[in-house]
């Protein structure tokens, strides 16, 4: 049950038909049409091994972790801590002490803002982000800057959705205490050159947090190679459960940070006079966590490893290229986000048709996409639009899915055009 060893990676290109069969949810029809699921940037579907890992936990050995001497508690602890080792290996981290389980990316960013941020960011200091961030990598910094009388600076993007690196570099100063940016943009699909951006920020002495919510399920990630200080991601976007995520942090920074939430598991001893905090990573894990979720995340990580991140990347890239070309043939369609380095997100607008109407007609055709501001309102403002329609890819999507999207978009145009 706690298979912590890395699963072997198969050779050759991905067998996507076989892989699709691992996702029970994809077998259904929606409104009498085969489901075409193109909303994985919001949350991905789950393979059978992840569903089974959670189910087996509840059916066979569930108990609270870390505190029990009885068999079930030991088994649960072993499986949960095995998942932490899976995450460590997947991220290329030096130690499981650096892998903090959280509820997801949002909580990971807030943890850093509220602990490292409150201690190190003071009046007149600066926090630098970019114009393509998700709200969860904007608002925690805004809150921190407001509280600490610091300044939030924003590096702009060009019309294609790429961060203007010279501007980014110019905005860095000796006052920049922290720099936070997405690895992959959920609204535009832009892949940021995070290694380069990190090096620029480090040269100025800033601490770097990378929001890996969209990158982790799509690209190979090695936190030591990236050189960043913190890396955040969510289980539910990476074919794992919701309510579980990770903050990876460099050990020396985590050691020096004060705890965030107080409670059980984050302490060594408590008296009314003084509390001694637990060692890493438990210092940041107050209360009973999402035990089955963590175990499910471990299963998702091993599943990703068994497919191979290079193969996943190559497959998604081929589908993205096909989809980009196919969408550009639809009259009146404009892609929003055409950066040279892009991952599997296709945001677009159709002239004269509201994205919400697009979403509803597509749904009636069995095609699930997302419409709205994608929790990135400043990105919408940058393009002067209130919303986009967004088709986002998962590893199970095929070129046929994108052809079905295009056929459905022609129907939208017939109805509203
Ligand atoms: N950052 C990015 C780039 C995202 O796409 C998302 C989710 N849409 C988040 C952060 C927040 O993730 P979560 O809601 O899982 O905390």
Per-residue model confidence (pLDDT) at position 331: 96
**Ligand 1 center–CA 205 separation, angstroms:** 27
- By annotation, the residues acting in catalysis are 375
Q: Which atom of ligand 1 approaches the CA of 237 most closely?
A: 15
SS3 readout for 290-342: CHHHHHHHHHHHHHHHHHCHHHHHHHHHHHHHHHHHHHHCCCCEEEECCCCCE
Asked if 194 contacts 210 with a C-beta cutoff of 8 angstroms, the reply is yes
> pLDDT at residue 3 above 70?
no
Q: Which residues contact 260 (CB under 8 A, 6 or more apart)?
A: 111, 114, 115, 284, 286
**Ligand 1 center–CA 135 separation, angstroms:** 8
Ligand 1: residues whose CB is within 6 Å?
104-106, 134, 136-137, 182, 186, 211, 213-214, 234, 375
Mean pLDDT of the 217-221 span: 98
> pLDDT at residue 4 above 50?
no
Mean pLDDT of the 340-353 span: 97
Per-residue model confidence (pLDDT) at position 337: 98
Q: Which atom of ligand 1 approaches the CA of 234 most closely?
A: 15
Per-residue model confidence (pLDDT) at position 11: 73
Task: Encode pLDDT of 106-161 as tens digits.
Answer: 999 999 999 999 999 999 999 999 999 999 999 999 999 999 999 999 999 999 99
Tell me the fold of 54-305.
Answer: 3.40.640
Q: How far is CA 209 from the centre of its chain?
A: 13
> pLDDT at residue 385 above 60?
yes
Mean pLDDT of the 75-80 span: 98
CB atoms within 10 A of CB 372: 18
Per-residue model confidence (pLDDT) at position 9: 67
Mutate to test the pocket of ligand 1, among 141, 184, 214, 242 (most ligand atoms within 8 A of CB): 214
**Ligand 1 center–CA 338 separation, angstroms:** 21
And the tokens for 165?
A: 């690196």
Mean pLDDT of the 238-247 span: 98
Task: Encode pLDDT of 248-303 as tens digits.
Answer: 999 999 999 999 999 999 999 999 999 999 999 999 999 999 999 999 999 999 99
| Residue of the CA atom closest to atom 6 of ligand 1 | 213
User: Percent of the chain scored above 70 by pLDDT?
Assistant: 97
**Ligand 1 center–CA 113 separation, angstroms:** 16
Task: Encode pLDDT of 7-33 as tens digits.
Answer: 666 678 999 999 999 999 999 999 999
| Residue of the CA atom closest to atom 5 of ligand 1 | 186
The model's confidence at residue 67, banded by pLDDT at 50, 70 and 90, is confident
Per-residue model confidence (pLDDT) at position 310: 97
Mean pLDDT of the 348-365 span: 96
Asked if 164 contacts 194 with a C-beta cutoff of 8 angstroms, the reply is no
DSSP-derived pairing of the beta strands 207-211 and 230-234: parallel
Helix, strand or coil for residue 409? helix
DSSP-derived pairing of the beta strands 345-350 and 388-392: antiparallel
Domain segments of the chain as ranges: 16-43+308-416, 54-305
Q: Which atom of ligand 1 approaches the CA of 185 most closely?
A: 3
203/218 Cα distance (integer angstroms): 28
> pLDDT at residue 223 above 90?
yes
Please give the mean pLDDT across all residues of the chain.
Answer: 96
Mean pLDDT of the 80-98 span: 98
Per-residue model confidence (pLDDT) at position 7: 60
DSSP-derived pairing of the beta strands 367-368 and 275-277: unpaired
Total-model pTM: 0.97
Mean pLDDT of the 228-250 span: 98
Q: Among candidates 221, 219, 220, 214, which has minimal Cα distance to 237?
A: 214
Count of positions (residues) in the chain: 417
- CATH code for the part of the protein at 16-43+308-416: 3.90.1150.10
């Amino acid at each position: 049950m706690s298979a912590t060893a890395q699963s072997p990676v198969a050779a050759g290109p991905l067998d996507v038909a076989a892989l699709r069969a691992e996702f029970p949810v994809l077998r259904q029809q929606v409104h009498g049409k085969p489901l075409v699921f193109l909303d994985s940037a919001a949350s991905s579907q789950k393979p059978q091994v992840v569903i089974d890992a959670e189910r087996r936990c509840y059916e066979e050995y569930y108990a609270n972790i870390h505190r029990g001497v009885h068999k079930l508690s030991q088994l649960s602890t072993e499986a949960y801590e095995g998942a932490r080792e899976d995450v460590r290996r997947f991220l290329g981290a030096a130690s499981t002490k650096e892998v903090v389980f959280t509820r997801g990316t949002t909580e990971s960013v807030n943890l850093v803002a509220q602990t490292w941020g409150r201690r190190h960011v003071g009046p007149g200091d600066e926090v630098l982000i970019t114009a393509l961030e998700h709200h969860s990598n904007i608002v925690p910094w805004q809150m921190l800057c407001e509280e600490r009388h610091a300044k939030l600076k924003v590096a702009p993007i060009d019309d294609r959705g790429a961060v203007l690196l010279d501007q980014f570099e110019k905005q860095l100063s000796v006052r920049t205490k922290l720099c936070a940016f997405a690895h992959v943009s959920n609204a535009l699909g832009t892949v940021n050159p995070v290694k380069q951006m990190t090096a620029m920020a480090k040269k100025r002495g800033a601490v770097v947090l990378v929001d890996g919510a969209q990158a982790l399920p799509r690209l190979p990630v090695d936190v030591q190679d990236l050189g960043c200080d913190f890396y955040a991601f969510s289980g539910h976007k990476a074919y794992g459960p919701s309510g579980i995520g990770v903050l990876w942090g460099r050990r020396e920074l985590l050691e020096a940070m004060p705890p965030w939430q107080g409670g059980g598991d984050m302490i060594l001893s408590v008296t009314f006079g003084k509390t001694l905090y637990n060692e890493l990573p438990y210092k940041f894990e107050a209360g009973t966590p999402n035990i089955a979720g963590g175990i499910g995340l471990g299963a998702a990580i091993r599943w990703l490893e068994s497919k191979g991140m290079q193969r996943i990347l190559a497959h998604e890239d081929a589908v993205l290229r096909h989809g980009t070309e196919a969408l550009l043939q639809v009259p009146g369609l404009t892609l929003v986000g055409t950066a040279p380095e892009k991952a599997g997100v296709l945001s677009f607008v159709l002239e004269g048709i509201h994205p919400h109407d697009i979403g509803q007609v597509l749904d009636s055709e069995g095609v699930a996409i997302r419409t709205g501001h994608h929790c990135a309102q400043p990105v919408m403002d940058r393009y002067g639009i209130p919303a986009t329609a967004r088709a986002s890819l998962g590893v199970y999507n095929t070129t046929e899915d994108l052809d079905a999207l295009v056929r459905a978009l022609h129907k939208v145009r017939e109805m509203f055009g």
